[in-house]
Each structure stands twice: as structure tokens, then as C-alpha cells.
Chains A and B, each alone.
Chain A
Amino acid sequence: MVVTLEISAKEAVAEGVVALTLVHPAGARLPDWTPGSHIEVVLPDRTVRHYSLCGSRWDAYTYRVAVLREPYGRGGSALVHDTLRPGDRVGVGGPRNHFPLVPSETYLFIAGGIGITPLLPMVQQAELLGAEWQLLYGGRTRASMAFLEELTAAYGERVHIAPQDEVGLLDLGSWLGAPRLDTKVYCCGPAPLLTAVEAACAHWPAYTLRTERFTAAEQAAPVRDVPFEVELRRTGRVVTVTPDVSVLDAVRSVGVDVLSSCEQGTCGTCLTPVLEGSPDHRDSILADHERVANTCMFPCVSRSLDDRLVLDL
């Protein structure tokens, strides 16, 4: 199985922000996720972008992401805004979660602009758990802030809207001045906001503040759209993997068994040692440092960046 999803809807949700709804082309369930998760989306130029899931996981059949047009970005957001249309298909990896919501009696959520996306399912969850919570949501202008109506209609006074052109920068001093032991602070947004929140929380207890930073520090190589070879060194076989089959299925087609279970990159059963080459990791399991080590992969969903991948099979 190669995880390719179809765009079933695309709508403008704020000035410069579109929301995409993704479904499985055959209507299958999508891999489970938790609030704070992102997926990796392979854009038409074969570059990969990470987008936080901002829909409901009680709907197992759709993912929703929201994408801000970034005029100074690397062009990915422009592709999403200008090129992708309902009916188009995109490769998807993950979901992965580096920003999980941990248990707490009280939460303070701080969103800057498009940083609202991972926090949206978090506030739903906090509400469901009966936690005390507040959302401080800043943005350039009211019109540029996605999901405003949805949030204020559902949660009323728990949501504090702070458009910069109306009230200036977020007043972090008054929100974060006094450390509270029972509170977890979740923040997502542009780098200057994260830096300011980190500074404001410097005197809070350890592990109180949880942030997600969208870094573009290392631009990964574009995803392949041409076949690659997989050498099974112990078996002495070489198999060509075309874009429409998984490495797992390709390996099995030459009679080599690899035990698997979920075939969604979540259970970890098909872990396979990599001897040479760079896998294109699409699983939900490996940490970033494990991914770059290139010593193992999950062939049910992961592929190759290089012409040849050598596996210990």
C-alpha cells in the first residue's frame, strides 16, 4: 500500500488560509492520530511539507489541514493555494506527533496565526476532558485568523482573540507572569512568538511549556516519482520498486517474507535494517534522530530517496 490521499474539499477559511480535506481514494479508514499530530504531504513538485491535523479524529475517514500562503516561503504554500484542487491526489506520510497533549487540570493555549492548527483539536480535547483551559489567539488582523467563528461560537469566553492591528502584540507578561503549578502551556506560532513565550516561561517549572516550532532548517530532497531498486543482501535478490507499490509488497513479490501487521506505519512490526541508501521515511514511529540515522525503516509505508536501497533481508 502506498499512502496516497485525495483532496475532497478545499475552502478558504481566512485571508490567505485554505483548508484541505483529505480522504482515502477507496474510502478506507485513515491511520489514527492524536491532537498535535502532523502529516507529511508530498506536493506536486515532489517536495514535502508538514501540516498539523486540525479536524476531528472521531471522523476516521478524513484529515483536515489548513495552509497559510507564505509569500516568502519556499513555494510549497503557493502550490497548495494555486495548484491543488479537489480530486487531486497527494502522497501522505505519518501522522506523527512531536507535540502531544499531556494530562493536566488546566491548560493555557497560545496560538500565533496559522499556529492555531495543532491547538484546534487540543482545545476540543481539553473541553471533552472537562479541564480548565483558555486560548490566547493572536494574529495580524481579524480577517487573517482562521477558525475564529468556530472557536468563539463553541467556547465563548475561554477564547481570547487578539488581532495585532487592534490590540497590539500578545500581552504575555500578564498571562505568564505568575507561574502556576497546575497549568500546562502549549504554544504554536511564528518563531518570535515562541521565543517570547519561552522567555516569559523561563521561571515556570520544568516541562510546563510545550511548543511546536515549524522549522525549515533542513530541506529534504524531493520525493522520487521514478522507480528505485531494493537489494536484499542476505537473500541476494534485487527488486525494482515502482511508484505504485510499497517496498513491503515488492519484497514479498520475490518470495521474501517480512512480518507486518498494521501496514500503516504505526505498529512497528515490519522494522527492517537498512545497510545502504537513504530511506524516505513515512512512518509514525521513528524519532527524528532515528530517521536521519538511516539504519532502519518500515517498508510498509517508507520508500527510498536514492536509486538503490540495500536491506538486511
Chain B
Amino acid sequence: MPGTAELPVCDIDVFSPAALEDPEELHRVLRGAGPVVYLSRYDVRALARHEEVHAALADWQHFESGSGVGLANFRHEEPWRPPSVLLEADPPRHDAPRRVLRDILAPSALRVLRAAWQRAAEELVEQVLTSGTGEFDAFTELACAFPLKVFPDAVGLGPYGRENLLPYGNVAFNSFGPVNDLVRADAHRVAELSAWVNAQCAREALTDDGFGARIWAAADRGDLTRAQAPLVVRSLLTAGVDTTVHGLAACLYAFATHPEQWQRLRERPELARVAFDEAVRWQSPVQTFFRTATTDVTIAGALVPEGTKILMFLGAANRDPDRWDDPDRFDLTRDPSGHVGFGMGIHQCVGQHVARLEAETLLTALAARVEHIELTATPGRHLNNTLRSWASLPVRVHRTR
């Protein structure tokens, strides 16, 4: 590759099971190697320091998303599905879908959901606490159960087939990496899962009062085209489930391993929002995204040639010691503002306020009923090319009296 001679080279397979299982050592190596590192395995340049990752995320003019935000370069590779009109689009085509979804998911628009989600969280916590011995898998019983209960309802999905949501998300987030064993493992399910998800995006499949119906109403007003509307619904279903599930799991894992932080949250439940963002910083449920240089771009003296991919390590940036004091510590006294776990700039997670509301309501309900939470066995990781995800989180909780 031209212009790589002067760059630090890393030959680690950053999508190998070992790297995905425990990315922190890899992140240290990448951050230490330099502001731009050449990944010889994949012939791409990588950014792992907060300053460069933050700047590249914001700079849509020089780093486009329309050529795909995974390893595949849509300039000469066929996408596995019709590209997202949000995640995999640039201005000007990105504008209308983004505006419509931003307004539907704005904090002020979510206010009507708060009371219902609070109730749902309290009911779920009560049910989990009273139905067993106080030992359970917090990943399935809480981190999966809560988003899968409130979010599909808010979108307006029908009752059937919701079990397809997590497997579809797993496929979608694996697709941003190379075609490795993780991608091959699910290859036989792609057609079936895609067909189910696409069918849910139709107006007729959605209730008339959810986010989905509001997206279609925007198409009726001409704010979107009718061709864009189902793809915007698909974005909700792709990006809105696994991310929050693993974000909540990150929170629960953090508290199970940091009992003093749980006590702090119990004393000050209003810290729930900060706690979620600190967990997102600390674990970075979305670990990586790619961009493509729109022209020859120089980052910290290193050339990124036009049309080539860069890989941004959000998880590494979120633990960059040049940006964060004691970055490996999960700490509610820290101000996690400015983390890039939701991205930054025009593509920053449009559902972040939904995720925060889910986390806030669940953590608040738990803090009111649970005195102490601890692991009973080593939690199980699930490997995904993009997501820092979980398979199990066995815990024991002590209820308040």
C-alpha cells in the first residue's frame, strides 16, 4: 500500500477471537504505536487515540460513511443488504432521514414514555427478585428482557417473531468486520432474518402509535420518500436493540464488580444517567466503525489516501489515558462527557436518548430494590466483530428489606 512505509505497523488480527474476547491489551498496543497505525492484516489504517478518533468521527467532509462503515468498501464491493439511509449515507442524502428520526427520538418526544417504562422496569425487577432464589442470569433476565420488552413496543412491532431481533442485530454488527468464522456461523440465517425484519418495516406491520408509524407519517408529509421510510424503521430495529442490551449488561457487570459504586448509586439514584454513560465509556458496546477517506487526508502527519478505509477504535479512545484519568476505572465520580461510545458528529447515535431512558428507568428500579449485587461465576462473553457483547452474567442479589 502506498504511503505506509513511515507508519507504525500492527500485524495483529484485530477481529480474531482473542482480540475480541479481550480487546484492552490490543487497544494499549494501538494507542502506544502512534496516532495512525497501519493494520497489515486488513490493509487499513487505524485510529485508537481519543483526539484522532473524535476528530475523524466529526469530520464527515473528509471521512465518508456512504462507502460503508465496515471493512467492505461499497465503492467496489456489493453490500450484503441495501445500505442504511442513516448509518451508511452522507449529506445530502443523510439529511432527511436523520432529521425525521432525530425529531421522533428527541428527549422531549420521549417524555411520554418515561412513566410507562418506569412501571415496566419496576415490574420486571419485582418479578426477577420474587420468582427465584436471588441468583439469576442478569444478562438474559434484565439486560435482554428489559429492552426487548419496552423498545419493540415503542417502535410498534407486532407480538410475533421478536426473538429474531437479537440474532438479526448480531448478523448486522458482525457484517462490519471481515468475513470470518463469526460471519460464516450465521450465514445460513441471513436470508430468513432479513426477510422477517424487512416485513416488520412495512406500514401495515406496525401499530399506529409508535416510532414506526411516526416514520411513515413523515413519509406522508413528504419529509421522507416512501422508499426511505421502511429503511429508517429498519435502522431502529438494527441499531436499537443489541446496542442497548449490551450497554445495560455493561452497566450491570460494572456494578457487580464495583460494589462501592453500587452503594453510591443507591445513595444518589439520580446518578443513573451518568452511570450508564460511564459504563458505555468503560466497556464501549460499539467497539469500532470504519470510514472512507473522500480525498487524500493527513492525520497527525500521516497520509490516508483517497478511497481507503480507516478503522476507528471507539473503545480504545474511551480509555485513552491522555483524555481520561485512570481510564480503566469504572467511577461514578468521573464526568464521562465527551466519550465517543455513541460516536460524535452527524452520525452520533440518534437513539442515545432512548438508550439513556431505558438505562435510567431500569437502574433506578434496581437501586430501589437491590442492596447488593455480585457475580456468582465468570461472566460469559459473546463474540461479535463490532459489539463488545455478553452471553451470560450470573449474579446473586440481596433485596432491600
Contacts and interface: CB of A to CB of B under 8 A. Distances in A.
Contacts of A290: 108
B338 A58 contact: no
B352 interface: yes
A34 B102 CA distance: 14
B268 to A, nearest CB: 10
Interface stretch (A16-24, A78-86, A99-107, A110-118): A99-107
B301 interface: no
Given A125-B92, A269-B352, A261 B342 contact: yes
Nearest to B277: A259
Nearest to A287: B108
Contacts of A207: 221-222
Contact of B274 (A58, A97, A257, A296): A257
A50 B339 CA distance: 32
B107 A268 contact: yes
A252 interface: yes
A129 B222 contact: no
Interface string B336-355: 11110010111010001100
Interface residues of A, number: 37
B228 A103 contact: yes
A260 B337 contact: yes
B309 to A, nearest CB: 21
- Secondary structure call for the B interface: loop
Interface residues of B, number: 34
Contacts, number: 80
Contacts of B52: none
A32 B99 contact: no
Contact of A259 (B60, B225, B274): B274
B342 to A, nearest CB: 7
A129 B93 contact: yes
A184 B222 contact: yes
Contacts of A34: 91-92, 95, 99
A1 B335 CA distance: 17
B224 interface: yes
Interface string B62-101: 0000000000000000000000000000011101100100
A31 to B, nearest CB: 10
B352 A102 contact: no
A261 B222 contact: no
Contacts of B24: none
A159 B61 CA distance: 28
Contacts of A32: 60, 345-346
A253 to B, nearest CB: 12
Contacts of B224: 102-103
A261 B348 contact: yes
B137 interface: no
13 contacts: A34-B99, A35-B92, A97-B99, A102-B96, A102-B222, A206-B221, A259-B335, A260-B338, A262-B344, A263-B337, A263-B338, A267-B348, A290-B108
In the A-B complex, the 3 residue pairs with the closest CB atoms: A260-B337, A207-B222, A125-B92
